Chain A
């Protein structure tokens, strides 16, 4: 069996890594530091999958998560990657 790319699975919400510039804007918008954010572990399958796909380390990055099945139609969430 070939390995499934979970980033493409329809039940997995879209995960986008914020660029450093976006991070600054984002943190400014909510007037917070990284430490006010919800967390996601770097051992989380989706983080591992993205790291493997893009060949980067996500530790310390902020991930934007877009959920299409939320009550608002599109729910945006952010998580801070820890190990």
Chain B
């Protein structure tokens, strides 16, 4: 708040509490500055009519004019309410349900709560003792309402316990009419009854009589919203166009007027009733134009009017569009593209963007010369500055003409809004922002061209790819927010996910297969290659001893080079992804695995084992990256990722990597074997079907014979496909790049490969074999009730061999389910996410370890029941006991 504001609005105030209440008629009149009696807005000369809907007392909407009530200018005056005196009371639609509840619970003659005195006393006590928490109170009140409402509509025991009058059943006809027995209750009748309800009774049916009396739900006077809420707009043609609310208020005043005239003239009951109903309609649609059972009010053009409720409700409403989320300055959005050469902490920002987004920097003794040179450069050369702000708050735009003058004017205490520069901290975001990691802080790297650039390792938390994805960037403007972003939100601080305690930032795809090729046994590099790799991956070290010298030429292994990235005191052992579960891969009998799958790192040296997904793959159990971050800090984790990705990028360039359809080749005898296995499976299925037809099939416990047959068939076919798959796998060794990708976790899995080379297997919809489509069959080319493998969607062909038309159709059926599922899932999970966030957003962990809501109700006595932060734990536990035991045993052996 600046001084000017303080003069205008008084000193800042702190909100202690917010209370929701009803406006009483007196209050509406008290806050009204004028009673609106004319339905017109402007006179022929274009001046607002006094006592009309645009009365100048209601506020200013024209620049240059002053408010007739408060004297303030346009933009300063917030507007003032007026009022309309209704000729007859009407029900407020928003409270129609509450009116019904109270009607049912109170006597038609004496307005007392329809409960005997002793029950009233009991409930009063109950409310007194449990009056604190909302949910309990609500339960008790709904009990009271139900119990009291029972008096109405029952034949026996339908007498008021207080005056003994007989109670009739009340019917609610949506949206705003009520019937007692056969007689329609008018709003006046209801209001009269409610006026007689005692404060104590009102309290028992859920009303606080001090702030909301039931009869205030029936309007006798209507507040007229200030004109600032419903400004009229002047079109280019000079024609004034009024706001929808104004149109609605015009209708209300017109009908109100006519009703008044008819009442005064003593018009027949029928006419009065009709007009009254019309008034009710207009007031109802003024509040809500989407009430079911009421035709929506329309504009002359036929457009449905947007009234009060429509302004607030839904995605485009005031809450979701203007309060929960709003448009902001200092933000940018463009397409993203990858850049493996920048750090995970960085984001590449186009120069165009950097010149538009600015950061305010205050001139001090230390930076004034630098800022001067920026201002001198002007707004259109990078790096420059766009504005300077004088200590008195006056802003001056830097242009080519003024730049030199402004640079000279610059003094201590001036603020310069300079272009974004390398190293500035910005927030980077990709929708849908489903978790904390969807917005992270990056350091700016200003670059040419027009896309945001990001390191590939940070794609997983954003779930980003480069098929046209766009991302948003925000520039925090104060030093405090910049420091906060840097400390809490920087990418390297988010490597470990708070959700499952494992890295979400890490290598993927070619980085993993590349790591395998780099650290594979027998991989050697000469001195040139070594020098290149060390240079690109920014490793600063002495040249290590060569592993081998052949013909006088020194060579280094890939493992040696990889070791250079590790801290010298790092010790860790784990199985890599390529492990085939051979029996030598154990913690005690190690180093001899024939797949070289047991990773041993001693004092920062990779002694054995292959580096792959188990080392640094994002979103998976990757032991090394996990340990680096947790034991050596986030800086070490970031450095490792930055270096290892660059190293592998380079080694990939040296080694080369390509995959082709021959990676799925299987020799003739293998194909014959697969064919035989599949045929055997189908034969077995046919035998099962014969057995079933002859009635010899034994049902499984709890299943019918048909179900048994179905499950046995599925089981048999699954077995034979698996067998076919494992035959194919026999021929697919690590010399095939496709296999390297599958085994290292880079892309795909062995199932995908065997589907390409051996057989696709069973297609399914909702977990069942395909059976729908035609009457008693899946396709017209099969007989009715044919349950054989082929007729129910079993695909024996492989992708490589190709599918026959029937198989192709079945495959499309199964594929369609997948697409539908994803579409439905995202919609449903999105809605669930919204509701969960709204329910949980105000909870916090307190200093005593409890999780509480904002009104201090305990949700958990210890966060997560164990008080452990997953991001700081080792695999969900506070300590890694297995590793400690291993270390102790090992050191014991050594001693």
Contact = CB atoms under 8 A, between A and B. Distances in A.
Physical interaction between A and B: yes
A77 B866 contact: no
B858 A75 contact: no
B881 to A, nearest CB: 13
Interface of A: 30-33, 35-39, 67, 70-73, 75-78, 82
B866 A32 contact: no
Nearest to B859: A38
Nearest first, the 3 closest Cβ-Cβ pairs linking A and B are A72-B866, A75-B865, A35-B132
Of the listed residues B850, B858, B868, the one surrounded by the most CB atoms of chain A closer than 10 A to its CB is B858
Contact of B864 (A33, A67, A71, A76): A71
A70 B864 CA distance: 9
Contacts of A73: 866
Contacts, number: 48
22 contacts: A30-B848, A31-B848, A32-B856, A35-B857, A36-B856, A37-B857, A37-B858, A38-B857, A38-B858, A38-B859, A70-B865, A71-B868, A72-B862, A72-B865, A72-B867, A72-B868, A75-B865, A75-B866, A76-B862, A77-B860, A77-B861, A77-B865
A38 B843 CA distance: 14
Contacts of A38: 857-859
A78 B136 CA distance: 18
B876 interface: yes
Interface of B: 130, 132-133, 136, 848, 850, 852, 856-862, 864-868, 876
B133 A30 contact: no
B64 to A, nearest CB: 56
Nearest to B860: A77
Given A30-B848, A82-B136, 6 more contacts: A33-B132, A70-B865, A71-B864, A72-B865, A75-B862, A78-B861
A71 B866 contact: yes
Taking chain B's interface residues, is the majority helix, strand, or loop, or is none over half, making it mixed?
Answer: loop
A54 to B, nearest CB: 24
A73 to B, nearest CB: 8
Contacts of A31: 848
Given A71-B876, A82-B136, A32 B865 contact: no
Nearest to B857: A36
A30 B856 CA distance: 11
Nearest to B856: A36
A35 B856 CA distance: 9
A15 to B, nearest CB: 15
Contacts of A76: 861-862
A32 B846 CA distance: 13
Nearest to B135: A39
Contacts of B850: 30
A30 B867 contact: no
B536 to A, nearest CB: 44
B858 A36 contact: yes
A35 B135 CA distance: 11
A78 B852 CA distance: 14
Contacts of A33: 132
Nearest to A78: B861
A30 B876 CA distance: 26
Contacts of B857: 35-38
A23 to B, nearest CB: 15
A26 to B, nearest CB: 10
A19 B231 CA distance: 65
A82 to B, nearest CB: 6
Contacts of B876: 71
A82 B857 CA distance: 15
A67 to B, nearest CB: 8
A42 to B, nearest CB: 12
A77 B858 CA distance: 10
Of the listed residues A36, A67, A70, the one surrounded by the most CB atoms of chain B closer than 10 A to its CB is A36
A75 B865 CA distance: 6
B879 to A, nearest CB: 13
Contacts of B862: 72, 75-76
